[in-house]
Amino acid sequence: MSAEHSAPAPTVDAGSALRRGRKVRRRRLAVATAGVAAVLLGSLTVGLLQGGGPAPVQPAVPTPVDRSPLTLGARFGWLPESTVTLESEWSTTTSLQTAVSKENGLLQLIGSDSEVDPWSTASRSPGDESQSREAAPKVNGRDAYWVSVQGMPTRIELRFRGSDGRWLTLVDMAMPGVDRPAMLRVAAAVQSGAYKVQVPVSLDSSTPVSDLNHVIFRRSVGGPDTWELSLQMRVRDNAMAEIEAGTGSAPTDQARARQCAHGEGMWWCAEPAPLNLGAAVTEGDVKTWFDRLTAHSPDESTWRPLVLPPH
């Protein structure tokens, strides 16, 4: 945190960057609700070193996986200086982190629960014929290799074993300043484990939740700390409600049945999700979620893991 606060003021509007990212993520959330597989994005705070170059994140403390949905299987340790936003994301199928540049370049870290090489015959999926591999230098003395995808010459993918033996994937998609040596440096600093992300809102233990299926937490990197949290949950069948919270001003666009509140420099809202394929989400559904949402404060010492109620 000291590195963060001492870093030079960013030359980009982090709040605007988060807002742009929010619009993109809302569209991707809608696609995910429809059951379409999408590349997911993910965030924790990173500090930038003065004078350029990658910067270390705060020390990570592994914790056992529990009912907290926003639990990462791995997290970044160093990132390129072009990073302006860092995201942590959890869904019912994966957890990951993604660094985002001002130009919307992405550097994505995808966790895995498997110690089996994903290139093995047993774990490869249809369509992988378009991929080829080549040897890469070992990462902290552990196996690694590059993956190339036909028709995507600017994409750089590195697969490597983490410190706990599980395979991880690092993917560069037009992140400024990132080449293969930079990818290896980022990979060498990746921290493996189970890391619960502290967030500024909590769900009451009486919340009648049957399925919380998508969580994204975005934070700015360097300068004033801005953040935004999005939670999407299943009310019934394919009817989805959404909770959002953030710094600054609450959303002003019109949304049916939205309920919002604000205080201490933050806001929080509940509303129907952008896309619903099942029964309509009612105002009562939204109120049920809104009434069971506890907002903490911008002070991180008050934040807690978003732990789901017991089954």
pLDDT digits (tens, 9 = 90+) for 210-219: 577 889 999 9
Nearest to 231 by CA among 201, 205, 251: 201
User: Comparing 39 with 179, which gets the higher pLDDT?
Assistant: 179
* pLDDT value at residue 31: 34
Taking the mean position of all CA atoms in its chain, how far away is CA 73?
A: 12
Q: What type of residue is 152? A: M
Residues 6+ apart with CB under 8 A from 180: 136, 146, 156, 158
Residue 218, C-beta contacts closer than 8 angstroms, at least 6 positions apart: 18, 21, 22, 25, 43, 85, 86, 87, 227, 228, 229
- 20 has a pLDDT exceeding 50: no
For residue 7, what pLDDT is reported? 34
pLDDT surpassing 60 at residue 79 = yes
One-letter amino acid identity for 261? A
The three-state secondary structure class of 45 is coil
Please tell me the chain's helix, strand, coil percentages from 3-state DSSP, rounded to the nearest 5.
15, 35, 45
pLDDT beyond 60 at 227:
yes
Confidence of residue 4 (pLDDT cuts 50, 70, 90): very low
What's residue 26's pLDDT?
42
Closest to 273 in 3D by CA, of 226, 231, 308: 231
* Pairing of β 78-79 and β 201-203: unpaired
The pLDDT, as a whole number, for residue 167 is 94
Mean pLDDT of the chain: 75
| Average pLDDT over every residue of 44-62 | 36
Q: Is the pLDDT at 208 greater than 90, yes or no?
A: no
Instruction: Give the mean model confidence (pLDDT) for residues 43-65.
Output: 37
Q: What is the mean pLDDT of residues 258-262?
A: 88
Tens-place pLDDT, residues 82-131:
999 999 998 888 889 999 999 999 999 998 888 888 888 666 666 667 88
